[in-house]
Amino acid sequence: DAGVIQSPRHEVTEMGQEVTLRCKPISGHDYLFWYRQTMMRGLELLIYFNNNVPIDDSGMPEDRFSAKMPNASFSTLKIQPSEPRDSAVYFCASRLGQGAGGYTFGSGTRLTVV
């Protein structure tokens, strides 16, 4: 089991550029979550999917953020255009089913927008 795989691990980009973060959940997991972590706000849920369908995107900050899950093994989080305040660590996590149990997190992508 390779765990949840995120790429890239680090991303530095200039303000106004498009940024795409990628996630491969654990095989067989049917829930996928995107979180953002900052010192000020902690871990915030941005959006989550169940069976590739977005269920709750109320945490997406604004229209500059979009997420897709075209199939069970891949998801993207896109920021366009990026702003310095988007600098954070973005985590993807996955889980199996609606039963008890927590998530498994990926290693995260540290995004810096300059």
Q: Closer to other proteins at the Cβ: 81 or 96?
A: 96
Encoded tokens for 72: 């069970």
3-state SS class at 109: strand
Please tell me the distance from the alpha carbon of residue 67 to that of residue 64, in angstroms, as a whole number.
10
Q: Closer to other proteins at the Cβ: 81 or 89?
A: 89
Shortest spacing between CB 73 and other proteins, in angstroms: 19
Shortest spacing between CB 114 and other proteins, in angstroms: 20
3-state SS class at 106: coil
Q: Closer to other proteins at the Cβ: 45 or 64?
A: 45
Residue 3, CA atoms < 13 Å, CB-side half-sphere: 10
Shortest spacing between CB 81 and other proteins, in angstroms: 27
Please tell me the distance from the alpha carbon of residue 49 to that of residue 56, in angstroms, as a whole number.
7
Chain residues binding other proteins by CB under 8 A are 31, 33, 35, 42-43, 45, 48, 50, 55-56, 91, 95, 98, 100-108
